[in-house]
Chain A
Amino acid sequence: MSTQLSILVVDDELLIRDLLYDFFVEQGWRITIAENGQQALNALAGQNYDLVLTDLKMPEMDGMELIRTLRQRHPGIPVMIMTGFPSVDSAVEALREKVADYIVKPFNINQLYKIASSVAKGAETASKVQ
């Protein structure tokens, strides 16, 4: 595993993309941004990521469709959801798709970062706790 963690952020809101881009770059991560699920899949075809952080409600391909496709094409990549429209149904669906966490917007970016770091390092951590 490389020392620089990598994240793919998928959100149709420019403000969120900019906020997360600046924050994760500042923390030393390699970050790629996508505006919807289709762009995210294109990015994933080119390189691997330690974490995908995705919105749910997006045009063209929404977050759940992206996650289902990810599970088939890249089953090992951890996924976190961030949504401004939380619902019991989408949270349960996320749970069944083994999503690592479900964050409700507006979020505390430090809290989100703490969770994202934990998830991205998950495989490494899992090996250490055996």
Chain B
Amino acid sequence: MSESQLRILIADSDLPVARSVAEFLEASMGCSVTLAGVAASPNGDDHHRVEDFAIVFVDQAIEVASGYAFLTGLGNRSTTSVIISTSIPSIEEVIQAFRHGAVDVLFKPYDFRDLEAAVQRAAREHRQRCLRNELLDHKEALADLLGWRESDVETGLARCGYGRMEETVVSR
């Protein structure tokens, strides 16, 4: 999938910043960007279902206030890559973001080169997750082909970086 087909959701209460990011991603990377504002939630309360997007940018303040609702609301087989944005970077915030399964943390004000690199990394992660799901959908055939147990196929995918092993830590 090329970056031009990427659907991106931006959930940020700072609308001028969100608009400038959207304009950049649409103009320079050809992405399809939706602005959600503070009312968005993983449950789709703002008419946006997070799972429908390849990448979600969510402001750290929104995540903290909601108890990391975007990240914890994602299913185990979600392909959405969540990027946390923050204007007050702290070590604790970064650790919390990735313990909850974020793929990246970006600091405001944005450097558009960093932004572009982050979107490319997140898109790569999204594609890996899509591939993982496709392979898991055929795990019975794969297990048969390889002479493995189905659980070994899942383990093998996780071990090859096609799982989200880190998310098993979230529940502690």
| Residues of chain A having any CB pair with chain B under 8 Å | 1, 75-76, 78, 86-88, 91-92, 94-96, 98-102, 104, 114-115, 118-119, 121-130
Cβ B165 vs Cβ A102 within 8 A: no
With contacts A1-B155, A123-B165, A127-B151 taken as known, whether A88 is within 8 angstroms of B160 at the C-beta atoms is: no
B171–chain A nearest beta-carbon distance, Å: 8
Cβ A104 vs Cβ B91 within 8 A: yes
A101–chain B nearest beta-carbon distance, Å: 6
For residues 81 through 130 of chain B, which have their beta carbon under 8 Å from a beta carbon of chain A? 89-91, 94-95, 97-99, 102-105, 121
Interface string of B147-170 (1 = CB under 8 A from A): 000010011001111011110110
Residue among B89, B121, B158, B169 facing the most chain A CB atoms (10 A cut-off)? B169
Cβ B98 vs Cβ A127 within 8 A: no
Cβ B94 vs Cβ A114 within 8 A: no
Which of A78, A91, A96 is within 8 Å of B95, CB to CB?
A: A91
Cβ A75 vs Cβ B160 within 8 A: yes
Given contacts A102-B95, A123-B163, 17 further A-B contacts (CB under 8 A): A76-B161, A91-B94, A92-B94, A94-B98, A95-B97, A95-B98, A95-B102, A98-B161, A100-B169, A115-B169, A118-B169, A122-B166, A123-B154, A123-B158, A126-B154, A126-B163, A129-B168
A87's closest neighbor in chain B, by CB? B91
Cβ contacts A to B, 16 pairs, < 8 Å? A76-B159, A76-B160, A78-B166, A88-B90, A91-B95, A95-B104, A96-B104, A101-B169, A114-B172, A118-B169, A122-B165, A123-B159, A123-B165, A124-B155, A126-B155, A126-B158
Q: Which residues of B contact A101 (CB under 8 A)?
A: 99, 166, 169
